[in-house]
Every structure is written in C-alpha cells, then in structure tokens.
Chains A and B, each alone.
Chain A
C-alpha cells in the first residue's frame, strides 16, 4: 500500500518545493525597482493600444471540440490494446466498427471544411 502512493506523493512535494522555493528565493534576492513604464505590457516600445483581450477565431473552439471527441476515441483504444489477445477477432471487429463510425465523422468535418485554416 505504502509503496504504491508514497513515492509519487514525495515527488510531488519535492517538485512543488523546487518550484515555489526558486521563485521565493529569487524574490528575496532580486532587486525591486518597479516603474510605470517597466510594468506596462510589452508592445515593441510603442504606446499601448487596445486591450490584450481581443476575440479570436472560432476555429480554435472547433478544434478543441473535435479534440475531445477523438481523444475519447483514443482513450477507448487503450483498454482494448492491452487485452486484444483475449478479445480476439470479436474485439477487433468491435473496435473496427468503433473506429469506422468515428472515421465517418472525421471525413464529414473534413469535407465540411472544419479542418481548413486560411
């Protein structure tokens, strides 16, 4: 029981300590001379214009949604891939149908142009 969780817990603790420690240490050691210009977001030396919160293309949103769909497909492949021998032909046919159905969806969104970028 202990062997299972403890190493990872200790690892997480050390990783967090490393991340937090280095930032805190640098805060203590580093100098602090803030000024209005220094704190302004970088804009290649030009005065700021507009906000950094502009809208962006809906494309990214579609990509994220398609990613969820196909990620679930991939995740379903894992338990099959580790057990494919015992599942045999039946399992392969089942997975084949699964993949083909999703492939139809893939071809559909491709043909509809959801994967196009201009």
Chain B
C-alpha cells in the first residue's frame, strides 16, 4: 500500500512539474515569437506590460478568461464546446512519452525523467498526432461558418498528407535504434546524434513536422488574408485560448520529437541533461519562428503537390535505400 502511495505521489509531482513547465513555456513561446518576429521586422514587439513586456502572457490570459464566450447561431453547441478541448488534450497527452533526461535517483528511488516509457512510444505519438486532426475538423464544422469549414477541410487534407512522410521518416530511426521506445532512441544517440547519420531523413521529418504544426509556410488552415482566421474564426475567449495554447504545446511536442529522433535528446557535454533537452527544443522552436519571419505561404495546389509528389516518394525511397544499406551492412 505504501509503495502504491509513493508511486502515485511521484507520478503526481512529476506531472504537476511537467504541466507547469510546459504551460509556462507555451505562454512564453507566444511572447518570444512576437518579440522575435518584431525584431525581424524592425519593430519592438510587446513592451508595455512589465519590463520588456514580460507579463504580456499573464495579461493575455486574463483577457481571454474575461472575454465573452460567443457561440454563433446555428452552431453545433456540444461540438463547438468540445473541439478546442480536444485540440489541447491531444497535444497534452503526447507529453506522456517525452523523455526529458536519463533515470535519476531521488531519496533512494529510481525516478525516470519521463511520465511513462511506453514500449510503443513512437506509435503512441504518431497515433495522437493522427487524432489531432479532429480538433480542427470538428471546430471548423461545428462553427457554421463558411471560412471555418473551408479551413478545416483544407487543414484535414494537409495534415493527413504530411502525416505520411512524417511516419515514413521515422522508420530509419526505428531501424537504427531497434526500438519503439523513445528513451531507447535517445540512448542509441549517445555518441552521435542521428541528424549527422541521416541528414536527408532529418530534412524530410523536419519539413513534415513544420507542415503538421500548421505554421507558415504551411499555415493554409488559418491563412488570414483568405479565410479570416481559419478554423477558429468563430471562437472567442478561452475556447480560442485553448486552440491557441494547444497549437503552441503542439509546437513544443513536435520540437521535442525532432530533438528525440534526430538531435540526440538530452545528450550533450558539461551541462545537466535536462538543460540540453530544453535548449534543443527551444532551438527547434526558434527555427519555426524564424521560418515564419522569413517565408511566404504556399499556394494550396503547391502544398498538396509538394506533399504527395515530392516528399512522399523521397521518404519512401529513403526508407528503401537506408533499409537496404542497413540489412546489407549487417551481412544479410
């Protein structure tokens, strides 16, 4: 009984910490994005609330919480309520398998720095990312708005198209690590991160991940000059906030996955592992923001062509060539 209580306590403390850190990170990622974009466009960005605008996320939160919660006429009330929650929950659930560091010892207890090291961690992540489309689809459909519906249809097609190449790009990594467990994948990169061994796989994965994050240059589902605000046009207040937070948590998750699969996870010299992990995730997030500040948006036909006619065959070829090479090098 005592053992169970201790286990439960550890789980709750761990989850509490992770939630606090990730939500704070998501909130400050918004601020960081606004600041960096502003600097790239020779502006100051938010600088009124607190020193350097540091309290901007708090102000945003208060604003969103106190805003009126509008549910448009003719909308499907339940689904309209349900969709943003779904978007946030699917993003948060992926956190369960993210390993932040190696197993450490606290008070004589072995505490792994991961919520749950599933033996199918990779598939858990892919499954959840394939469920993430429902947030967009239902949100757009339930709004009873032309723009929202168009955006959600676009978004659905885009997300499923790039999911293929993302799934294919993971295959060489699984082959190299010979495990579905994310901890094992990080362990396999102790000497050399996979990005140096599989640079082309990394590129395929990174482009697919950028498309999955629905950000510029892949932000067709929320292209503001064609579709107002995309699938969350009709959303206001905290429901919009959930979509928004979900998107940034998703960005952190995708950054973590890039770090785990290719950038060597928590491995790094001198600094403690968890710092390396956070550093790499934030690095990937910075590249996402940088891309947003630099690139124009795809046209929809270009987007679909690129996904189906360029990225997917290359990813498939990569799997075959890498697989053939690995089988051959092992002596068949």
Contact = CB atoms under 8 A, between A and B. Distances in A.
Given a CB threshold of 8 Å, the question of whether A touches B is answered with: yes
A64 B154 CA distance: 12
Contact of A18 (B71, B88, B143, B171): B88
Given A7-B115, A78-B123, A85-B330, A23 B234 contact: no
A101 interface: no
B320 A96 contact: yes
Interface residues of B, number: 82
Contacts of A20: 85
Nearest to B309: A115
A104 interface: no
Interface residues of A, number: 66
Given A10-B11, A40-B73, A82-B180, A2 B4 contact: yes
A54 B158 CA distance: 20
A84 B95 CA distance: 29
Contacts of A117: 300-301, 304-305
B228 interface: yes
Contacts of B74: 41, 52
Contact of A60 (B95, B153, B330): B153
B68 A40 contact: no
B52 interface: no
A7 B320 contact: no
Interface of B: 4, 7-8, 11-12, 14-15, 19, 64-75, 81, 84-85, 88-89, 92-93, 95-96, 115-116, 122-123, 143-150, 153, 156-157, 160-161, 163-164, 167-168, 171-172, 174-175, 178-180, 228, 233-234, 237-239, 241-242, 300-301, 304-305, 308-309, 312-313, 316, 319-320, 323-324, 326-327, 330, 332
Interface of A: 2-4, 6-8, 10-12, 14-16, 18-20, 22-23, 25-27, 29-34, 36, 38-44, 50, 52-54, 56, 60, 63-64, 67, 70-71, 74-75, 77-78, 81-82, 84-85, 88-89, 91-92, 95-96, 99, 103, 106, 110, 115, 117-118
